[in-house]
Amino acid sequence: MARSISYISGSQLLSLKRRPNIAVIDVRDDERSYDGHITGSLHYPSDSFTDKISDLIQEARGKDTLVFHCALSQVRGPTCAKRLANYLDELKEDTGINSIFVLEHGFNGWEASGKPVCRCTDVPFFSGIHWSSVSPS
């Protein structure tokens, strides 16, 4: 059965991010390092995404909702979300991932609307940060 991919607004994501079972997947490439990122997001660059899908599934274990984004969520975010959906359909194994979303207007829209952005450059990006422990800045 083909998985559907829906769009989610920044406000909807902000209200969902308090749940521990959601992961935000940033598929931007180099711009993540100088533009900042959504706090707690996992970084899986689009240029190597297909090769790293199995790593993402492992890192997102325990998460049932994944939200993808790139800068504008017009090409890379939706493309990577679709690649994951296709991979999961072919895998025919229950990974626990039930919902796949793409963030409307991407990171640029998130930031422009005043949502919290992390500009940390000396802290590694890892999945050990739970959304519930992140407060908006």
Please give the positions annotated as active site: 70
3-state DSSP call for residue 75?
coil
Residue 77's alpha-carbon distances to 26, 90, 94, in angstroms, are 8, 20, 23
DSSP assignment of 15-67, as one string?
A: HHTTSTTEEEEE---THHHHH-B-TT-EE--GGGHHHHHHHHHHHTTT--EEE
Q: Which two tokens stand for residue 10?
A: 């920044």
Q: Which of 45, 39, 59, 42 lies closest to 120, judged by CA?
A: 39
